[in-house]
Amino acid sequence: MTINFENRVAIVTGAGGGLGKQHALELGRRGAKVLVNDLGGSVDGSGSGTAAQLVAEEITANGGIAMANSASVTDLDAVKAMVADTIAKWGRIDILVNNAGILRDKTFAKLDLENWHAVLDVHLTGSVNTTKCIWPVMIEQNYGRIVMTTSTSGLFGNFGQSNYGAAKLGLVGFMNTLRAEGAKYNIFTNSIAPIAATRMTEDLPGFEDSAGKLAPELVTPAVVFLCSDQAPNGRIIQAAGGRYYSADVRENEGVDLGLNATVEDIRENIETILDMASNKGILERTHHR
């Protein structure tokens, strides 16, 4: 059975190009009414433009229903207005894809704190702003699908991306709590960790000549599935060039050193404490609390 989104309303942030554009287009093709949000700025977040309008027009030209919005996800009042406009026009919001992001890469030694805060404001706080405004809507309608955009830079680290990596792993922590709090309202929150060739990656090492094999539209099937009725809850799917795989946070059994444990006890047992050969998934551990 074909997955479709008839009578569903989606908001996709950062949808003026790259990954977000592909997500918005596919949701539109499959019947969703799509609010295309994009500030229209450059990769570092400066400037503005008409990117969202162009994508909304493309969805409409393909027979879909869409409208554009140029709010910055860092501007809470503008996000509130975006959500209010969506409700006024279409009556509900079923799907939120938090995709908006910027890059300001530097090694930590050279990183200005201004650029630390700018990146966290867009990726992490921006996702909080949109989710906070939409959360009561989803609770009231007893339905919601939220997708966070994390990254391998957050999951595993990447040279020169301390700000970006911190923001991206922060989204996983945010997701984990929403997973628990939203379940009873049929609100499922998941994360996508994409590897794709976009304008944000074109200057990064390893992305040379990668446009074909790491096309952003190869990430979109996983994102759109996470927007569907059949989505899991609280999972991370990685997507790269047609390969789809998952990641999670794990813990091992460790060792019980009792109430009188000392630093020396830690030293003597450090190999067992750090051994991940026999581990448990965080989802299993949470389930058994």
Range of the domain at 196: 9-248
Q: Is position 289 within any domain?
A: no
Q: Is position 182 within any domain?
A: yes
Query: What's the pLDDT at 18?
Result: 92
Q: Is position 287 within any domain?
A: no
Whether residues 276 and 198 share a domain: the answer is no
Whether residues 278 and 183 share a domain: the answer is no
State pLDDT tens for residues 210-231. 556 768 899 999 999 999 999 9
Beta pairing class for 236-240 and 243-247: antiparallel
Whether residues 188 and 268 share a domain: the answer is no
Residue 239 sits in a domain whose CATH number is: 3.40.50.720
Tell me the mean pLDDT in the region 237-248. 94
Query: What's the pLDDT at 280?
Result: 56
Whether residues 102 and 159 share a domain: the answer is yes
Query: What's the pLDDT at 43?
Result: 64
Whether residues 231 and 260 share a domain: the answer is no
Q: Is position 238 within any domain?
A: yes
pLDDT at 283 over 80: no
Closest CA to 128 of 183, 75, 51, 184: 75
Which of these ranges, 104-113, 201-210, 253-262, has the smallest mean pLDDT?
A: 201-210
Burial class (CB in 10 A: 0-12, 13-18, 19+), 199: exposed
Whether residues 58 and 190 share a domain: the answer is yes
Whether residues 272 and 233 share a domain: the answer is no
Specify whether the CB–CB gap between 5 and 28 falls below 8 A. Answer: no
Specify whether the CB–CB gap between 146 and 178 falls below 8 A. Answer: yes
Q: Is position 4 within any domain?
A: no
Domain count, the chain: 2
Q: Is position 178 within any domain?
A: yes
Q: Is position 234 within any domain?
A: yes
pLDDT band at 244; cut points 50, 70, 90? very high
**What's the Cα-to-Cα distance from 52 to each of 70, 197, 265, rounded to whole Å?**
7, 20, 58
What does the alpha-carbon distance between residue 107 and residue 110 come to, in Å, rounded to a whole number? 5
Whether residues 224 and 85 share a domain: the answer is yes
Specify whether the CB–CB gap between 253 and 280 falls below 8 A. Answer: yes
Average pLDDT value over all residues in the chain? 91
Whether residues 261 and 217 share a domain: the answer is no
Per annotation, catalytic residue among 143, 164, 185, 245: 164
Q: Is position 132 within any domain?
A: yes
Residues near 142 by Cβ (< 8 Å), separated by ≥ 6? Answer: 185, 186
State pLDDT tens for residues 70-109. 999 999 999 999 999 999 999 999 999 999 999 999 999 9
Residue 164 is a catalytic residue: yes
Whether residues 77 and 33 share a domain: the answer is yes
Whether residues 168 and 44 share a domain: the answer is yes
Which of these ranges, 10-19, 70-79, 193-202, 264-273, has the smallest mean pLDDT?
A: 193-202
Whether residues 244 and 273 share a domain: the answer is no
